[in-house]
Amino acid sequence: MAITLEDLPIRDDLRGQSPYGAPQKHVRVQLNVNENTHPVPEDVAEDIVAAIRQALTTVNRYPDREFTELRESLAGYLGHGLGAESIWAANGSNEVIQQLLQAFGGPGRSVLGFPPTYSMHSIIASGTGSRWIAAERDAEFRISPETAVAAVQQHRPDLVFLCGPNNPTGTPLDLATIEAVYDATDGIVMVDEAYAEFMPAGQPTALTLLPGRPRLVVSRTMSKAFAFAGARVGYLAADPAVIDALRLVRLPYHLSALTQAAAVAALRHAPEMLRMVDDIRGQRDRMVTELRAMGYQPHETWSNFVLFGGVADPRAAFESLLERDVIVRDLGIPNHLRVSAGTTEETTAFLDAMRAVAAEQP
Ligand code: PMP
């Protein structure tokens, strides 16, 4: 008989848990994990290759443990008067968040979040032995300052996770909510801004709240707007003292020399790497308009994806789209599916397939 996980002397608190499991399928139109569906421009890719080639000549040595050049590049990209001492990076923002919980969460400590939200927040909480507490949202997935403060006062968590724009709903996050949560807790407040670049132009982000708030942490990623998901580069901005805390838990040399070189080269081309953001926002808005015209109920989104309700049987609709070579995400939210904005052609393919599904599932 084959051994299963349950036969192993695994930690009791991991028994019965499920891993992160967005399906990875070879489908023509992949709109299920909120990637940027536009590839890195050819001239940028060539510059990145040249940087990696150069880095390879010294790859017999360990990389810069402090990834100073990358932190300087990220600080320059973020602006807001931030210096390299306020920036930290890791292999995707998932790892950044994990390091934050290793330092500030852990056994005997709790993390408060507001589902439906990014599933890895609770999975990283459990992986680090932190207790996950789920609080309620208001109507339309919003979180008012009052609702957030009431949850903080009730549960007294060690960390509060906010996500703006929120995945999987796309919901904007009010700065007033972040400020109110910060004032209501002595713990760390982490704002996950993975989708910040897709917000309407000119909207202030949580970065504007950092001065004078040493317990506020803002995480970002190059995976989405920057079209760099496969390279695995996430980062955060916070008080330099928070960065000191992360140095206690990171593995030495966690960012490879190749990753550092690739990210620095990509950041040199930030405007070009971000060129597709407007186009993606346009395709997202087109999805919202056309889904509404089909009778579905798309929710307000400031992100590169759309959560829509009115799907009679999400599982069947997911399968039916898959048969048409389109993959979206069924997150288990009753009567809802989530779809990432694609290129013009991919968006057209999704909308055409969705019209066929609507005809099957009136
Ligand atoms: N935060 C949010 C809200 C996300 O949706 C994602 C990716 N789906 C991440 C963080 C992780 O991104 P990465 O690890 O690729 O930086």
**Atom number, ligand 1, closest to the C-alpha of residue 223:** 15
Q: Which of 31, 32, 91, 93 to mutate to test the pocket of ligand 1 (most atoms within 8 A of CB)?
A: 93
pLDDT at res. 27: 92
pLDDT at res. 86: 98
* pLDDT tens-digit series, residues 264-315: 999 999 999 888 899 999 999 999 999 999 999 999 999 999 999 999 999 9
pLDDT at res. 64: 96
- In angstroms, the first-to-last Cα distance of the chain is 47
Q: Which of 91, 118, 193, 307 to mutate to test the pocket of ligand 1 (most atoms within 8 A of CB)?
A: 118
Alpha carbons 259 and 247: distance in angstroms, whole number: 19
State what percent of residues in the chain have pLDDT above 90.
91
Alpha carbons 358 and 350: distance in angstroms, whole number: 12
pLDDT at res. 362: 66
pLDDT at res. 17: 84
DSSP 62: P
Question: 101 C-alpha vs ligand 1 centroid, how far in Å?
Answer: 15
DSSP 326: E
Angle between helices 175-184 and 145-155 (to 10 degrees): 20
Q: Estimate to the nearest angstrom the gap between the alpha carbon of 62 and the chain centroid.
A: 29
pLDDT at res. 16: 85
Q: Is 193 in the pocket of ligand 1 (CB under 6 A)?
A: no
Question: 45 C-alpha vs ligand 1 centroid, how far in Å?
Answer: 22
Low-confidence residues in the chain, pLDDT < 70:
362
The two structure tokens encoding residue 301: 């989104």
pLDDT at res. 22: 72
Q: Which domains does the chain have, with CATH numbers?
A: 22-38+276-360 (3.90.1150.10), 42-271 (3.40.640.10)
What residue owns the CA closest to ligand 1's atom 13?
92
**Atom number, ligand 1, closest to the C-alpha of residue 234:** 16
pLDDT at res. 273: 87
Closest CA to 302 of 281, 276, 273: 281
pLDDT at res. 209: 98
The two structure tokens encoding residue 209: 């709240």
